[in-house]
Amino acid sequence: MKSKNLILLFVISVSVISCWPKDYEETGIIVVNNGLENHVQMRFFSDGLPSGPEIVSKKGKGEIFKGEDTSTVVLINQILQADSIVIIFDNERIEKHYLYTYEPVGHSLFNSDSYQHDGNTSTYTIDAKNYENAELCDGPCN
């Protein structure tokens, strides 16, 4: 009899937890735009391995990445599906972004302050500051 009550209690608990009210969730949308005429490539990594969309690219101005997540607390790195991202300009220059150090300082893809916010949409624009911060590659950037 005790085991039946425990099983019933477990089933009810799992049902209650899985029926989280949608009122407590929010949707966060991240948009990354290329604000330059350069060919820009973004590569996503998690624990040093390719992750998420792996590689997205755009030549010229426009949207390069868009992602969203629904959660009680929406986190940028969950939408980006990465803990580091590299931005490659024209296969000649590279800029590295890291989750845990918010590098590059003041303009990190992982720092909410680097985005323009409009409602639930946050937009990051790759611009001249990114390009100037990028290091020259010794040959083609990989």
Q: Residue ranges of the domains in the chain?
A: 23-136
> In percent, how much of the chain has pLDDT > 90?
37
Q: Which residues contact 29 (CB under 8 A, 6 or more apart)?
A: 66, 67, 68, 79, 120, 121, 122
50 preceded by cis ω (within 30°)? Answer: no
pLDDT (tens digit per residue) in 108-131: 998 888 999 998 899 999 999 999
Full strand arrangement of the beta sheet holding 39-46: 49-59, 39-46, 84-89, 93-98, 135-136
pLDDT (tens digit per residue) in 44-60: 898 888 887 778 888 99
List, for the chain, all residue ranges whose pLDDT scores fall below the cut of 50. Answer: 5-6, 8-11, 13-17, 20-22, 24
Note the pTM of the prediction, 2 decimals.
Answer: 0.76
